[in-house]
Amino acid sequence: MKSLVVTLTILVAGLMAFGVQTAQAATLVVDDDGLGSAADCDDGTLGFSTIGAALTAAIATDTVLVCPGTYTEVVRITLDDLTVQSTGGAAVTIIDGPHGSFPGTSHQVLVGISGDRVVLDGFTLAGTFTDSIEDDIAILSDDVQILNNVIVGPGPPFGGALDFGILVAGGAGGVNTERALIEGNDISGINHAGISIGGSNESEATTVRNNVVHDNRTYGIAMDRNAPDNLVTGNEVFSNGKAGIYVVQRSWGTGVGGTVVRNNLIRDNLDRGIRFRGGGGIISGVTIELNEILRNAGDGIRVEDPFGANTVIDNCFEGNTPNGVNNTAGGTFVAEDNWWGAADGPGPVGLGSGDPVTAGVDFDPFLDTRPPCGLPVAFFAVDIDIKPGSDPNSINTKSNGVVPVAILGSDTFDVNDVDVSTLAFGPAAAPPAHDLSDPLTLADHLQDVNMDGFTDLVSHYRQKETGLAFGDTEACLTANLTGGGSISGCDSVNVVK
């Protein structure tokens, strides 16, 4: 066996010496004049004038960079591991024109994706629509990422066909779709649903995160029958013609169980914020939590058909008409531990002054204070320096003294944006020892401690109030920002007592 190993080793080395190697990933550049490079779209390097031409030349693992311009074509992505990305972002990179056919779906598409692990990033899709069923983006494969696109439908007056901004629905012949990520997109003006997951084939574990979905004719985000285990979070869903979010289980299919709808702003939709519809099946295993459900007409949540065990908790219902939750299906729909817009809970079934609920809604116990519902607060990590100029940063918790902590400013962070009333330091969240709400006092605490040309904010904390204990090696400071969001920073410490 040793001689065989040696022979194979020599053979492989010889092939490599003669240039027989695996293909390397390449970057292909598209510009509307056919000239441009990855470094400069305006140089004279020969490239491609259409996205389709670049995709024809591409192999798996390649990147197709698209320069600013308007590209009137149907984009068909069939290879695995391709990235198709604009160089200038959606505002200046437009895919336009009529929709066309794509293998695996009977719909007409503007962008069709059947390759696994494809990334589409940074385009405006503004195709023309006809009376056919059309998708601006159709996903028929696994691990696809749709990022930072603007998808614009025709808007009113809408036509008669059912159209989709992004459709995650698998392909013909029983092809399922798994683990799609739809993030950072703005979707509006679509004749049916801005984002639709599920259909005849299973679409599992789709993540819909941090999108703005608005002014679509029917639904903002829809999950229909074969669509289990989705995560819908951080989205702003508003002014859609029917429901902001539509959850339906028909009499067949794997269902929508395991889906979590969390930390979304669902507001001002014209006919229901969230619609639960059985469609011949029973919806169960869906979690609706920590959402702001505001000012929706036709109910904040409407339950229309028989249902199983679902979780609706820690949501904020405010200003929905006629009801916060309306159970039209019979039975008892559990919606305990939610905020109904008033400390005394919902009416008129309840005795409170908050959003109404109907008979058949179990709302008690309810929250008498508003939870942290809605879009997640932006979080920023910042640099801090405990005891500037000292190393190690020794702290004596038996001392009556104070410990200075500097929040370091930079070219990307202005310490004047810190809400000084929310400063907190150490495990016990100690407040500052000085009243920094006083402008004169605050001015004395704005310094450049590290001499880098950027203003730093120095605050002081009584050592006994920090909650630090002997053996601790790190301490952190937190605060909110005046424009929204929060900061946190940590530094090493040496607690001696």
> Which string of DSSP letters, residue by residue, matches 264-321?
-EEE--SS-SEEEE-TBS-B-S-EEES-EEES-BT-SEEE-S-B---EEES-EEES-B
Kindly report the CATH class assigned to 27-362: mainly beta
Contact 129, 163 (CB under 8 A): yes
Q: For 322-355, how does the pLDDT look when each residue is reduced to its tens digit (9 = 90+)? A: 999 999 999 999 999 999 999 999 999 988 999 9
The answer, yes or no, to whether residue 141 has pLDDT greater than 90, is yes
Task: Report the candidate in 161, 159, 219, 139 with the shortest Cα–Cα distance to residue 187.
Answer: 219
Here the tokens at position 305 are: 């058909």
Query: Quick one: pLDDT at residue 285?
Result: 92
The answer, yes or no, to whether residue 18 has pLDDT greater than 60, is no
| Distance from C-alpha of 496 to C-alpha of 473, rounded to nearest angstrom | 10
Query: Quick one: pLDDT at residue 173?
Result: 59
* Per-position DSSP letters for 353-407, written without gaps between them: SEEEE-TTEE--S--SS--S-SSPPPEEE--EEESTT-SS-EE-TTSS-EEEEEE
Average pLDDT over all residues of the chain = 89
Give the CA radius of gyration of the chain. 28
Whether 27-362 shares its CATH topology with 379-495 is answered no
Q: For 2-14, how does the pLDDT look when each residue is reduced to its tens digit (9 = 90+)? A: 333 333 333 333 3
The answer, yes or no, to whether residue 15 has pLDDT greater than 60, is no
User: How confident is residue 174, by pLDDT bands cut at 50, 70 and 90?
Assistant: low
Q: For 248-306, how does the pLDDT look when each residue is reduced to its tens digit (9 = 90+)? A: 887 677 788 999 999 999 999 999 999 998 777 788 899 999 999 999 999 999 999 88
Q: Which residue has the higher pLDDT, 342 or 21?
A: 342
Query: Quick one: pLDDT at residue 172?
Result: 59
Average pLDDT over residues 55-73: 97
Query: Quick one: pLDDT at residue 135?
Result: 93
Distances (CA, A) of 251 to 278, 305, 333: 8, 12, 20
Name the residue ranges covered by the structural domains of the chain.
27-362, 379-495
Report field, pTM of the whole predicted structure over 0.95: no
State the SS3 of 423-435: CEECCCCECCCCC
CA atoms within 13 A on the CB side of 359: 1
Query: Quick one: pLDDT at residue 171?
Result: 64
Query: Quick one: pLDDT at residue 392?
Result: 85
CATH fold of the domain at 379-495: Immunoglobulin-like (2.60.40)
